[in-house]
Amino acid sequence: MGYREIHQESIRDPEGFWHKQAGRLDWFEPPEEVLSRDDRGFYRWFRGGKLNVSYLALDAHVNAGRGEQTAIFYDSPVSGTKSAYTYRELRDEVARAAGMLRDLGVAHGDRVVIYMPMIPEAVIAMLACARLGAIHSVVFGGFAANELAVRIDDAQPKVVLTASCGIEFDRVIPYQPLVNEALRRSEYNPSHVVYVRRPQAEVDLEPGRDLDWQHAVTEAEPADPVAVDATDPLYILYTSGTTGKPKGVVREGGGYAVALNWTMEAVYDLHPGEVFWTASDVGWVVGHSYIVYAPLIRGCTSVVYEGKPVRTPDAGAFWRVISEYGAKAFFTAPTAFRAVKKEDPEARHLEHYDISCLENVFVAGERLDPPTYEWLADTLQRPVIDHWWQTETGWPIVANPMGIEPMPVKSGSATLPMAGYDIRVLDDSGRELPAGEQGNLAIKLPLPPGCLPTLWNDDARFRKSYLDRFTGFYDTSDGGYIDEDGYVFIMGRVDDVINVAGHRLSTGEMEEVIGNHSSVAECAVVGIHDELKGELPVGFVVLKDGADIGQEALEQDLVKMIRDEIGAIAALRQVAIVQKLPKTRSGKILRKSIRTLAKESRDEVPTPSTIDDPGSLDEIAEAMQAHGIGRYAR
């Protein structure tokens, strides 16, 4: 069957389609119902089925005679460390870590917070929780103490699993002060904190509460996998919300395992024994899905990388890892490639590595701008697959199904909806819009397996955030359009659409145009309040290394390009050159913070705990003042 037949079947008969996919996994007890609704009216997948995701990811492969295959490669240029675990070795490590948690009183349904850098123990900790039927909540290692405290209070974990430090380039970040401060701030106190001791930082264990990971694991008896309901939560992953309090996205194990297994073949074209490298972090949904669970459920080899795209040691880091471990597919964020492009625009480092093993490159996490796509496609001479998904969905909503039928690429589009996603474009009143018209992207219910069934202990917020706006639909909060061929174009968050003199314009479109300038490495366009037109776009631009162009000349070029490509209505008048853009640690540009700076003084704008470099906000404020932007308008 081709892509369109498969997608149509998944929409026409979702129960039949996903029943077949579920049959490909090793269940302890098969589901009684494929799709049902609970007493709150929420959709649930595979009710009555029993399984264990850790068993599927480890034991099932060992039992099938593939225990000596490498499960994960660990590569840490920041610590100078490399190691590898076979499926058998990883299963045994996970079983002992699960035994340690069991000794600490952790059982089915209990929560465990994992606050770790990208080390093997982070993967082991996640799988150990799953083995017991405990619910893990991974918090990005290095998050500020307040962010950790908020998550501890919401999840109420019995145990916190952490490490003595993380490493950013050559900077050691001790975790114990952060953990201790978080526990001081939190109202809820876990019973134990377990530290993985790393040689770069020591810890001072508090008697009765703090434990040494290696000692505790060595003392523990291995734990067998526990049969849990398919509808039991596997994990809680917190994502930012408009109110400031993070939303605890719940992921159920059964539907997640079924969906991830399907994507590994259908989207990523990966098969047992092949190597998949996702350059992300287990603190984000990409790391949960495509560093840990999907590759291991599928029987692939996953690369766990503790490093950056540049400066660890250079802009050839990606090519080195792909070559060294024989990655068939590689997945990261466009921002990472923009960093590589900025430091090595001619890709000279690539000449030193053999990446003939690489067949496909996948990007997600933010919109893939055409200049970055074109640079990647020209540099690598391989398919570059943009795909769109969210923390809430856990796997791609829109992608190019490389394992079914690779589709023609359209620049700026993440291609086509994946199985189970019935995507519509709606106006603000909920009316469906025709092909080519921009509006709100919404998904007709039910969502496919693996998507969130609700938020942790907050059904009301789940309804308000996702279901109430458009009856019968999940509101993605992203804007875009679908063309006459069914290709989906994501134009960014709805709040990144600006209204200029009554015309709704996408800042993403403007960023595309600006990104095509030969001197521009990356950019952000935000809407700034204007008394006459409501909002006007302002561009903040980072130049490529070695670019020789002045402020005035660049501004003239970009204003003309926007006028030529989008029209005078776009009304771009101001462009500021900056050294860096404010971003989260996962690489997303903090456009909301930039907009706030246009209205408030720097002292009044809080520095987000997720920001990678707080000084970048100071630089934006200085640029606004120098150019008379927003509150500094002359």
Model pLDDT for residues 161-193, shown as the tens digit of each residue:
999 999 999 999 999 999 999 999 999 999 999
CA gap 356, 359 in Å, rounded: 8
- pLDDT score, position 584: 85
HSE of 409, CA atoms in CB hemisphere, 13 A: 15
Strand partners, 534: 500, 530
Q: Please report where in the chains the tokens 């074209």 appear, as a residue.
A: 269
Do residues 363 and 331 lie in contact, with contact meaning Cβ atoms separated by under 8 Å?
Answer: yes
Q: Compute how many other C-beta atoms are within 10 angstroms of the C-beta atom of residue 276.
A: 24
Ranges of residues in the chain with a pLDDT under 70 are 142, 240-244, 495-497, 501-504, 531-532, 634
- pLDDT score, position 504: 58
Name 30's Cβ contacts closer than 8 Å, sequence gap at least 6: 22, 49
- pLDDT score, position 194: 98
- pLDDT score, position 613: 87
Burial grade of 199 (CB within 10 A; 0-12, 13-18, 19 or more) = exposed
**In Å, what is the CA distance from 383 to each residue of 86, 146, 212, 376?**
30, 42, 45, 9
Do residues 290 and 318 lie in contact, with contact meaning Cβ atoms separated by under 8 Å?
Answer: no
Interstrand relation of 423-426 and 439-444 (parallel, antiparallel or unpaired): antiparallel
Q: What is the strand order of the sheet 247-252 is part of?
A: 210-212, 192-196, 159-163, 111-115, 135-138, 233-239, 247-252
- pLDDT score, position 569: 78
User: How do residues 584-621 score in pLDDT, each as one tens digit?
Assistant: 877 888 988 998 899 898 888 888 877 888 889 999 99
CA gap 275, 357 in Å, rounded: 9
CA gap 367, 333 in Å, rounded: 9
- pLDDT score, position 566: 77
Do residues 249 and 241 lie in contact, with contact meaning Cβ atoms separated by under 8 Å?
Answer: no
**In Å, what is the CA distance from 363 to each residue of 279, 387, 407, 482?**
10, 6, 16, 20
pTM above 0.75, yes or no: yes
Structural domains of the chain, ranges and CATH numbers in brackets: 3-307+387-480 (3.40.50.12780), 501-632 (3.30.300.30)
- Which of 371, 203, 216, 264 has its CA nearest to residue 21? 264
HSE of 338, CA atoms in CB hemisphere, 13 A: 27
- pLDDT score, position 144: 80
Rounded (10°) angle between helices 253-266 and 14-22: 90
Element (H, E) at 319: helix 317-325
